[in-house]
Amino acid sequence: MHKWLQPKQDEEANHLLSYINNQIEEQNSVTEGGLINIQIVSQQFCGHVIRNMIFGTRFFGEGTGEEETEHVSALFIILKNLNAFCISDYFPWMRGKTDFDGHEKIIRTAIERVQKYHDPLIDERIRMWNDGDRMQEKDLLDILIKHDSPKLTPEEIKAQILELMIATVDNPSNAVEWVMGEMISEPMILKRAIDELDKVVGRNRLVEELDLPQLNYTKACIKESFRLHPFAPFNVPHVSVKNVVVAGYFITKGSHVLISRLGLGRNPDVWKDPMRFDPDRHLCEEGKQVILTDNGLRMLSFSTGKRGCHGVILVSTITTMLLARVIQGFA
């Protein structure tokens, strides 16, 4: 599936460079020099990639960017508030009656904004398949519609697509934003990344997905960003279904368990000089590739095991390609 949709990822990587270049040229026509908001660029890039993979289109409207900006903004609002403390989670009888902290209203409003763009496209695509107007699978939405074991309802398809969206946009954009910030503060880190790109890719072509396995230092920078600057302070909440002992701690049945990503990644008992951005700590022995997960759970990027993220390959590719293209084209 990842290889099947690779052309859509490559298309967005090319659009990324064109967009940044155009922004700089427009600013240079007014004043000398150009400024790029890395946060906006990285978030919109991730939004374009997953929209193209799911819906087969980069845009919802006429391509002005307004709809896409609202869409990505709503996704990040959902991510910010999804696991926020909500008193009705602990007193279900209060749900729908009193929204003390306002999180329920914020989530509902954000989901409605996302569904405004998703649902018409999904409903129309389902109709096209039912009427025989579409015969070939071209994106993830087609795959979900034609899935037979089990057959998914329209409501399940819409829920799954929302899940795919919010699972894709946060880690890559946040990691690249922080890496670029750290590289500006530590020019030698930037220089080493540039030197690696020059050695692996050269200066006569753009970095491609087939180059990514060899970009160990670039990936080490990303992994260090995951460690030191995670998007969310905690992992997804879990509930213990039975009494259990984990790492010497007795956890009673029914306990809500939250793991601190910051606490893991910045633990001085595990990491030497934990507040220092040091990609070298993730470099493996020569000949071994840097992977963005940590099976030892010394940090949380995509988790691990049977409950680990199923999109590790995709998100790792998106993140590394985004960072590598930005460094190669404009550093």
In order of 59, 116, 226, the CA distances from 294 in angstroms are 35, 37, 10
pLDDT class of 29 with cuts at 50, 70, 90 = low
Q: Which of 195-204, 219-228, 282-291 has the weakest average pLDDT?
A: 282-291
- CA 315, CA 292: separation in Å to the nearest integer? 10
Q: Are 320 and 212 in contact (CB under 8 A)?
A: yes
Question: Which residue in the block uniquely carries the two structure tokens 């997953």?
Answer: 50
- CA 304, CA 294: separation in Å to the nearest integer? 7
Q: Backbone dihedral region of 72: left (phi > 0), alpha (psi from -120 to 50 degrees) or beta?
A: alpha
Per the prediction, the chain carries an average pLDDT of 88
Q: Are 59 and 68 in contact (CB under 8 A)?
A: yes
Q: What is the pLDDT of residue 328?
A: 86
pLDDT class of 60 with cuts at 50, 70, 90 = confident
Q: What is the pTM of this model?
A: 0.89
- Domain borders along the chain are 36-168, 170-233+259-331
Q: pLDDT of 162-172, one tens digit each?
A: 999 998 899 99
- CA 196, CA 216: separation in Å to the nearest integer? 8
Q: pLDDT of 256-308, one tens digit each?
A: 888 889 999 999 999 999 999 999 999 976 668 898 888 788 888 876 667 66
